Homo-oligomer: A and B are copies of this chain.
Amino acid sequence: MSGTIKLGSIFAGSLGAVAILWFTLALPWPTTSLGNRYQLWSISLVVSLTLLCFTFELSWRNMLRLLGVLVLLGSILGRLAIIQFLEGDKTPLDKSNIFAILSEQGSLGIITLGAALLILTGGIDLSVGSVVGLAAVTFGTLMEMGCPPLAALAIVLLLGVAIGFTNGLLVTQLKLQSFLVTLCGMFMFRGFARAINTSNTGLQQAKSNHPEFAESLDSMRALLVGKAANGAVEFPATLVVMMLLAAIVAVILHKSAYGRYWFAIGYNDQAARYAGIGVERQRLSVFVICSTLAAFAGILLLLWGGSANPSNAGNSYELYAITAAVLGGVSLKGGECIAAGLILGALVQPIIFNWMSFDQIPDSAQLWVMGLALLSGTIADELIRRFRRRAKG
Q: When the two chains form their complex, are residues A188 and B364 in contact, meaning their CB atoms are under 8 A apart? A: no
Q: When the two chains form their complex, are residues A186 and B365 in contact, meaning their CB atoms are under 8 A apart? A: no
Q: Most chain-B Cβ atoms within 10 A of its Cβ — which of A174, A186, A364, A365?
A: A364
A232 within 8 A of B: no
A176 within 8 A of B: yes
Residues of B within 8 A of A333 (CB): 177
Interface of A is mostly: helix
Closest chain-B Cβ to A33's Cβ sits at a distance in Å of 41
A370 within 8 A of B: yes
Q: When the two chains form their complex, are residues B367 and A180 in contact, meaning their CB atoms are under 8 A apart? A: no
Q: When the two chains form their complex, are residues B174 and A374 in contact, meaning their CB atoms are under 8 A apart? A: no
Q: When the two chains form their complex, are residues B187 and A370 in contact, meaning their CB atoms are under 8 A apart? A: yes
- Which of A53-61, A191-199, A236-244 interfaces with chain B? A191-199
Q: When the two chains form their complex, are residues A378 and B184 in contact, meaning their CB atoms are under 8 A apart? A: yes
Counting chain A residues whose Cβ lies within 8 A of the other chain, the interface size class is 35 or more
Contacts A177-B332, A177-B333, A332-B179 given; indicate if A374 touches B187 (C-beta within 8 A).
Answer: yes
Q: What's the Cα separation between A1 and B170 when bound, in Å?
A: 37
Q: When the two chains form their complex, are residues A180 and B368 in contact, meaning their CB atoms are under 8 A apart? A: no
Residues of B within 8 A of A379 (CB): 170, 174, 176
Residues of B within 8 A of A194 (CB): 363-365, 367-368
A259 within 8 A of B: no
**Which residue from B176, B198, B369 sits with its C-beta under 8 Å from A382?**
B176
A185 within 8 A of B: yes
Residues of B within 8 A of A184 (CB): 371-372, 374-375, 378
A175 within 8 A of B: yes
Q: When the two chains form their complex, are residues B191 and A366 in contact, meaning their CB atoms are under 8 A apart? A: yes
Residue of B nearest to A175 (CB): B382
Q: What's the Cα separation between A382 and B369 when bound, in Å?
A: 41
A183 within 8 A of B: yes
Q: When the two chains form their complex, are residues B369 and A191 in contact, meaning their CB atoms are under 8 A apart? A: yes
Residue of B nearest to A385 (CB): B175
A190 within 8 A of B: yes
Residue of B nearest to A364 (CB): B194
Residues of B within 8 A of A185 (CB): 371, 375
Residue of B nearest to A190 (CB): B367
Closest chain-B Cβ to A235's Cβ sits at a distance in Å of 32
- 26 A-B pairs, CB-CB below 8 angstroms? A170-B375, A170-B379, A177-B333, A180-B378, A181-B375, A183-B319, A184-B374, A185-B371, A186-B371, A187-B367, A187-B370, A187-B371, A188-B368, A188-B372, A188-B375, A190-B368, A190-B371, A191-B365, A191-B366, A191-B367, A191-B371, A194-B363, A194-B364, A194-B367, A194-B368, A195-B368
